[in-house]
Amino acid sequence: MSDRIPILRIGDILLVSVQFDLEDQTVLNLQEDLAEQIVAKSAQGVVIDISALEIVDSFVGRMLATVAAISRVLDARTVVVGMRPAVAITLVELGLSLGGVSTALDLEKGLAKLRRPASSASQ
């Protein structure tokens, strides 16, 4: 049994804070848990904090896109926050631009982005 990443609820927003480097199985568990939690808590938004993440491979990169897509289907918006410069460079070099995933510099700005109505956030 590999580690599970805790999913915290703040109001109608779910907060996923990744504190250690991810293994493939952990990532799959997270996708599953998150989908369940969004439905169970009827969440409007998901914030994934990866500020502690130093290493990202293509699998994790795709996971972020997948999670965003899953939550969009379940009518919740996803914001990835706190990506490190080195991680961003790696993802770009891997050719993953995470189109369709919104991002923010830190947790605070991410939450602010979710609180803004959807129409203005896309501008």
Partner 1 sequence: MAKQDNAVDLVGLLAAEKQDLAASWVREVQESLGRRVGAAELDRELRELYEALVEALRQGAQDVHAEQMSEVRALLTELSRNRARQGFSPSETAISVFALKTVLEPALRDGSADTVRAYLQLGRILDGLGLFTIETYTQTRDELITAQAEQLLELSTPVVRLWDGVIAVPLVGTLDSARTQVVMEKLLQALVDTGSEQAIIDITGVPAVDTQVAQHLLKTIVAARLMGAECTVSGISPQIAQTIVALGIEFDGIVTKASLADALKLALRRSGVDMVAHAGVQR
* Chain contacts with partner 1 (rule: CB under 8 A): 80-81, 83-85, 87-89, 91-93, 97-98, 102-106, 109-110
Tally of CB atoms within 10 A around 121:
14
Taking the least distance from each CB to partner 1, the nearer of 3 and 21 is: 21
How near is the Cβ of 5 to partner 1 at its closest, in Å? 20
Taking the least distance from each CB to partner 1, the nearer of 39 and 55 is: 55
Interatomic CA distance for residues 100 and 38, integer angstroms: 19
Interatomic CA distance for residues 13 and 24, integer angstroms: 25
How near is the Cβ of 99 to partner 1 at its closest, in Å? 9
Taking the least distance from each CB to partner 1, the nearer of 37 and 77 is: 77
DSSP alpha helices (H): ranges in 42-99?
A: 58-73, 85-93
